[in-house]
Homo-oligomer: A and B are copies of this chain.
Amino acid sequence: MAQEGPDMTEETECMIDRDVAKKLGGVESSGNVKEMRAVVLSGFGGLNKLRVTKKPMPEPQRGEVKIRVKACGLNFLDLMVRQGTIDCPPKPPLIPGFECCGIVESVGETTKRFEIGDRVMAFVNYNAWAEVVCAPEEFVYKLPEEMTFAEAAAFALNFVAAYMMLFEVANLREGMSVLVHSAGGAVGQAVTQLCSTLPNVTVFGVASSFKHAAIRDSVTHLFDRNADYIQEVKKISPEGVDIVLDCLCGENTGKGLSLLKPLGTYILYGASNMVTGETKSFFSFAKSWWQVEKVNPIKLYEENKVIAGFSLLNLLFKQGRSCLVKSVMDKLLCLYNQRKIKPVVDSLWALEEVKEAMQRIHDRGNIGKLILDVEKSPTPLMASDSTETSEAGEEEEEPEGDNDSKERMPFIH
């Protein structure tokens, strides 16, 4: 798999603003204008487009909640945002991030459901990776008492997406089977847990082999990503599976459709194959887009198959389905309180370590969720024998020729 550039750690080292780091957790700025630390994406491209800088602190508008952020979720989609490979990205500079959790610091006029001091999690349409976030209350949810902030940052997006795909789009029932292409990822782990809430659901998981030991117990059958898992699944279940969850797209779409039982549902919930190691991302994105196999509805008719797309963020922020998502969140918090589900946290990173965290998700090194812990200090850099290799696109853009790589050891949960 392509690495995201040799200049990463050196770049990160430069990025840390020591003055800002001293103010960890501080509310006040030096002048009248309140400021906060935030991760800022200066333009689409490589890791070097990310900086931690001071930004004006937002204040809650009517119906909004102002959250002192404790932790944020990092998703594969954030990587696509950075590369500019998503549909209609906003214009940079921008603060990335779609989910966070923390403590309510103030509320806007007409805000009814929250009070100062509430522990909450929230979906936001960008701007999550900051010390302070303001969000409309329709996208904010109170945390159960037992839920830690790290768990909360690993909960909202992945569990809501997994639940809605399994139960709203695909109608998962007792005795069915599910194939999940990225079983070790945060959505994958949410899917396996939700499947186990029903009797007799078979989960076929696909993951890189180095994750197998860690996730073997969470699935019924586990396959290596590089193996011919389509044939393996067919050996075990010649009829195929009821539900295929695909976050890769590309050639996997055809494969996934071929594995479906009659009346089975294929759900595309991401397009991570659109992400490459290159910074010429728009071109590679456009190429991938056109290479996606299109589906003839008449073929679906003949084969009795269902193909669906699912994007939780579009559902929330473009399509106005916050009420539906709220009802799903209520069910999920109920399952959490019954200890039937529990988010899997891969690792915690300081805001200043966002590049290393992104490299880890790019390399699909994570098992469960990557968290940005706003109160965490960056781990000191250390020399390493990193085997990271050069990435052409990055080099062309910033030919620093510095291979004296160092790396931080993340806090693995």
Where the two chains meet, the residues of A that have a C-beta atom closer than 8 Å to any C-beta of B are: 87, 164, 168-169, 171, 249, 253, 262-263, 265, 268-271, 289, 292-311, 314-315, 319, 321, 324
Contact = CB atoms under 8 A, between A and B. Distances in A.
Contact of A263 (B271, B301, B315): B315
A315 B262 contact: yes
Contacts of A295: 294-297, 307
B298 A263 contact: no
Given A262-B319, A314-B302, A253 B309 contact: no
A249 B297 contact: yes
A304 B249 CA distance: 15
B314 A262 contact: yes
A262 B310 CA distance: 9
Given A262-B315, A298-B271, A319-B262, A307 B308 contact: yes
A298 B309 contact: yes
Nearest to A301: B309
A211 to B, nearest CB: 25
Contact of A311 (B169, B301, B307): B301
A310 B300 CA distance: 7
B292 A296 contact: yes
A289 B298 CA distance: 8
A251 to B, nearest CB: 12
Contact of A306 (B253, B306, B311): B306
A169 B314 contact: no
Given A249-B298, A297-B307, 4 more contacts: A268-B298, A295-B295, A300-B307, A301-B311
B169 A301 contact: no
* Nearest 9 interchain pairs by C-beta: A300-B309, A301-B309, A294-B294, A306-B308, A262-B319, A268-B297, A295-B295, A268-B301, A171-B171
A407 to B, nearest CB: 34
Contacts of A306: 169, 265, 306-309
Given A169-B306, A304-B314, A296 B298 contact: no
A217 B253 CA distance: 43
B319 A268 contact: no
B310 A271 contact: no
Contacts of A269: 301
Contacts of A321: 262-263
A295 B309 CA distance: 11
Nearest to A302: B87
Given A292-B296, A296-B292, A300-B268, A309 B315 contact: no
Nearest to A305: B309
Given A319-B262, A321-B263, A292 B302 contact: no
A132 to B, nearest CB: 30
Nearest to A306: B308
A304 B289 contact: no
